[in-house]
Amino acid sequence: MKIAYLDCSTGISGDMTLGALIDVGVPIDKLGRGIASLQLPGVELLTETVVKGGFRATSIRIKHPEQHAHRHLSDIHEILDRADAISPAQKELARSIFRVVAEAEAHVHGSTLDKIHFHEVGAIDSIVDIVGAAIGFDLLGLDQVVCSPLPPGQGQVKIDHGICTVPTPGTAEILRGIPLVDVPIEAELTTPTGAAIVKTIVDRFGALPAMTIEAVGYGAGTMTFPQRANLLRMFIGEAVVQPEHDFITVLETNLDDVSGEIIGHTRQKLMQAGALDVFTTSISMKKDRPAVVLTVLAMPEKAAELEDILFSETGTFGIRRHQVERSKRARQPHTVSTLWGDVQGKLGWRNGEPAIFTPEFDSCSQVAESASVPLREVYRAAEFAFSQSQSPVQSTAAPHDHDHDHDHDHDHDHDHDHDHDHDHDHDHDHDHG
């Protein structure tokens, strides 16, 4: 499995990301053709090898005419639509990054996606950074992107709306759900563009994973810090993930003012949207009010969509999100024949142990209804049919096809605090030190 690791020891910005991608081996001529097809007059991508804190790195500069336009999300889409040298997948990734910024801007300004206009993130250099990053990550053909916790920085910065504390409101909104780390530098280390790229492409956060390193790239920031190299380091390599282990996202929220009907409806919508499992746990909250924890298990790429459903359907003020490693059986679909018809189910393997067979409820129910026999009899017949089909020396090697439906991995680490995010400021410049 091809994997990238982003070491953001001094944060991340759009130009640092683009510099690291080029330094790690993304062909600059392909990036140049894609950016040129945006048809932005006078725009040129310039690269330079620099030394930051004693280490060589690639620095990016976007040459362009002076401009004062503030673009809407629709303007960005029009620019991407006319770019004939950018693939549909690259355009979609770029749109996703811009949408993350637009949603954050709309939230902090109290506006909507169609009305909000980008400030600095709509500037030409930010457009080039985001589109270049989308092209670069697509060309790398990665299976997974892992990222270190992000340092937002410290102090205050001047933006279009005045003086703001780091992280500024728009960046803070983007960083929701992303683990942060304190690095004592008086500067904005993680910019809106960098945060949006991470929010869109990263599958999970943590330390450098077990991998065989094939390439390392360094993207330089514009500022120079004493005692720290202002660099984004990108590792590319191969990671082996055993079929019995993977990573999932756990979403949890405490509910004490929602009816059972709403919770049931929300669960159905979450399952239809691709949740691995949804369940409730009874708890007692402040003032001894009975309540439930609504927990959602999801693949990382589905977490944002499912989180939106939780917010809209329950009206919750906060959702806890964390990544967990899951142990599971490798599995594949399997069908057995019974006296009343075929029953579908799953075969599961683990650590070379003999395979087990689990009949699917829906299949057993259909057979029971059509044959007018008790459901439990169909279950017993299916399990017996599987046991009879197994020879004493049958191989127990793990299958190659993995069916991820109906996983019931109930991690019950519950935090009963309500999260309240009341930022009301505005975003600003994307270039950072």
How would residue 118 be classed by pLDDT, with cut points 50, 70 and 90?
low
CA distance 383 to 343: 10
Average pLDDT score over residue span 201-214: 90
Q: What is the model's pLDDT at position 68?
A: 61
So where are the chain's domains? 2-239, 245-327, 330-390
Using alpha carbons only, what angle is made at residue 203 by residues 201 and 206, rounded to the nearest 5 degrees? Answer: 115
CA distance 21 to 95: 19
Q: What is the model's pLDDT at position 161?
A: 64
Q: What is the model's pLDDT at position 70?
A: 72
Average pLDDT score over residue span 231-242: 86
Q: Which of 165, 181, 196 is nearest to 426 (CA)?
A: 165
Average pLDDT score over residue span 416-432: 42
How would residue 72 be classed by pLDDT, with cut points 50, 70 and 90?
confident
Q: What is the model's pLDDT at position 402?
A: 40
CA distance 150 to 205: 9
Q: Which stretch of 175-179, 199-203, 271-275, 330-334 has the lowest confidence by average pLDDT?
A: 330-334
Q: What is the model's pLDDT at position 240?
A: 65
Residue 42 has pLDDT above 90, yes or no: no
Cβ atoms 48, 58 nearer than 8 A = yes
CA distance 410 to 128: 43
CA distance 326 to 213: 25
How would residue 117 be classed by pLDDT, with cut points 50, 70 and 90?
low
Residue 389 has pLDDT above 90, yes or no: no
Average pLDDT score over residue span 363-383: 96
How would residue 424 be classed by pLDDT, with cut points 50, 70 and 90?
very low
- What are 249-288's pLDDT values in tens digits? 999 999 999 999 999 999 999 999 999 999 999 999 888 8
Q: Which stretch of 129-138, 279-288, 322-331 has the lowest confidence by average pLDDT?
A: 322-331
**Residues near 237 by Cβ (< 8 Å), separated by ≥ 6?**
2, 3, 5, 211, 212, 213, 214, 215
Average pLDDT score over residue span 84-95: 95
What integer best gives the mean pLDDT of the chain?
86
Residue 430 has pLDDT above 80, yes or no: no
Q: Which stretch of 70-79, 135-144, 358-367, 406-415 has the lowest confidence by average pLDDT?
A: 406-415
**Which residue bears the tokens 């979403």?**
251
Q: What is the model's pLDDT at position 417?
A: 44
pTM of the full predicted structure?
0.61
Q: What is the model's pLDDT at position 241?
A: 55
245-327 in CATH: which number?
3.30.70.1380
> Which amino acid is residue 51, in one-letter code?
V
> Which amino acid is residue 299, in one-letter code?
M
Q: Which one has a higher pLDDT value, 132 or 109? A: 132
Residue 216 has pLDDT above 90, yes or no: yes
CA distance 157 to 163: 6
